[in-house]
Structure 1
Amino acid sequence: MPRRARSFATAFTAICLPVLCLPALGTVAAPAWAADAPTYTLTLKDHRFTPGQLSVPAGERFRITLDNQDGSVSEFESYDMKFEKIVVGGGKVTVWAGPLHPGTYKFFDDYHPDKATGTIVATAPAAKE
């Protein structure tokens, strides 16, 4: 095979092979903890979160699904939990958080931080007697 043809074949393979393999990545099983992780739902309406506070167990990963019922874009963010997601008006987004130490963690809408705020309280399990 001429050198130019080999270069083309190598470049073609390098570009196309990863693209062709992408569908297979979707068939990888999720980790066991992902199936058991609880999901908490927040609603954003009139630039306010409902509920304004969530209680979660400390030391466990969990999901938060935000249902943005406002007509405008929101930036669901938490410095404490290190996430930031854009959600369009009328859209939903899910973020992973935790595991958290016992304590209170703030979240907010970065576009309306004066109104749209809330907290997550992570509590340690009760001591067994």
Structure 2
Amino acid sequence: MLHALSTRGLIAIALAAAAAAVTSLPASAANPTEITIEIKDHKFSPAEIKVPADTPIKLTVKNADASAEEFESHPLGVEKVIAGNSEATVRIRALSKGTYKFVGEYHEDTAKGTLVAE
């Protein structure tokens, strides 16, 4: 019986510690920064996006062109096809300070952009 109580006590302590760890996360971890960009004439607008570092990002990409475009970034680990005249959401992990390039893969010569985490 004593062993069973000790095991239950350890489990209760572990659960309390886990709950405390979750509630002590920074507010930014729960609330992503929301940004909207547009693809028009095979160009991103704005072409440079500034976001806070260490905060997840919810990026809405609106494609105002009739043809599909693929939002792609190797540094961000993202590939997302956006149909013509539609929009898509791209979720990006919290980033360290730095500059991250992205392109419209179907029109890389004109569809270029940069995300700057500050």
Q: State the TM-score, normalized to the length of structure 1.
A: 0.68
Match of 2:41 in 1: 46
Q: Percent identity?
A: 42
Match of 1:126 in 2: none
Paired residues in the alignment total 92
RMSD value, Cα: 1.5
Partner SS state of residue 58, structure 1: coil
Q: Which of the numbers 59, 80, 96 marks the counterpart of 1:64?
A: 59
Q: Deviations over 1:51-76 (max 9, x none)?
A: 01000011110111000000101001
Q: Which of the numbers 112, 115, 118 marks the counterpart of 1:120?
A: 115
Partner SS state of residue 111, structure 1: helix
Distance 2:43 2:69 in 1: 11
Please list every run of at least 4 consecutive aligned residues from structure 1 whose deviation after the TM superposition is greater than 3 angstroms.
32-35
Report deviation, 1:38.
1.8
Match of 2:85 in 1: 90
Q: State the TM-score, normalized to the length of structure 2.
A: 0.74
